């Protein structure tokens, strides 16, 4: 089962993908998480990606395509995986199609997280991320038990640089220009399943369960 979680930043793709990873064992392949890990470890990829990410711009296609090509061949991906935050451009979508075709695999479904911009700005600007395990909280909608401390690993909760409002606006405009054309790209292939991502996370999860089963 290969699924793509497609939608704007802050639409809940990552939270839901993490849930399915722990509940069902489907690996979450998040290019955003991989790039942040590369920055944190000082890897060359991180050095190349950092400037783009801080501005809310997309990292060049060849870098993220190489990441997914490699990670998706790990043994834990043999039965399938969830792509979270990839592809983000038509060129990435085309590369993915070629890569899967060469391996005799195909995409099962593309879950499209639909939500409007005003809701996203409110969500993202209150988002706090654990710098240790990557768990995501929200100052208003899902606060941690202790202020600034991760419930799961006691790591420190931080606001990602790219969750600041000016950067968020840029990320949204990048999404509308470069990523949203993928909705039609996959719609014409009959793969799009739409989710109302403005619903509370538990309801979104229920709808995803049903869609992923069918």
Catalytic residues: 13, 88, 127, 160, 171
Report, in Å, the least distance between residue 84 CB and ligand AMP: 7
Q: Tell me if 31 contacts ligand AMP by CB under 6 A.
A: yes
The pattern of x and - marking residues 167 through 186 that bind ligand AMP according to CB under 6 A reads: ----x---------------
What part of residues 88-147 is at the interface with ligand AMP (CB under 6 A)?
88, 92
29 touches ligand AMP by CB under 6 A = no
Q: Interface with ligand AMP includes 205 (CB under 6 A)?
A: no
Near ligand AMP by CB under 6 A: residue from 82, 162, 191, 193: 162
Q: Which stretch binds ligand AMP (CB under 6 A): 17-25, 50-58, 103-111, 134-142?
A: 50-58
Q: Check residue 4 for interaction with ligand AMP (CB under 6 A).
A: no
Residue 35: CB partners within 8 Å, gap ≥ 6? Answer: 45, 46, 49, 53, 59, 64, 67
């Amino acid at each position: 089962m290969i699924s793509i979680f497609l939608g704007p930043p802050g639409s809940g793709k990552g939270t839901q993908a993490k849930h399915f990873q722990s509940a069902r064992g489907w690996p979450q392949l998040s290019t955003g998480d991989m790039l942040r890990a590369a920055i944190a470890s000082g890897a060359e990829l991180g050095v190349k990606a950092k400037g783009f990410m801080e501005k809310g711009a997309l990292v060049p296609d060849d870098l993220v395509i190489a990441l997914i090509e490699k990670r998706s061949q790990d043994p834990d991906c043999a039965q399938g995986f969830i792509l979270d935050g990839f592809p983000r451009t038509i060129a990435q979508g085309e590369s993915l199609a070629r890569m899967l075709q060469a391996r005799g695999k195909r995409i099962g479904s593309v879950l499209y997280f639909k939500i409007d911009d005003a809701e996203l700005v409110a969500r993202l600007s209150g988002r706090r991320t654990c710098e240790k395990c990557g768990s995501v909280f929200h100052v208003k909608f899902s606060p941690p038990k202790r202020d600034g401390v991760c419930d799961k690993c006691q790591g420190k909760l931080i606001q990602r640089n790219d969750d600041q409002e000016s950067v968020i606006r840029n990320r949204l405009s990048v999404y509308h220009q470069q990523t949203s054309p993928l909705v039609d790209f996959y719609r014409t292939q009959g793969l799009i399943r739409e989710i109302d991502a403005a619903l509370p996370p538990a309801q979104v999860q229920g709808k995803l369960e049903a869609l992923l089963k069918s």
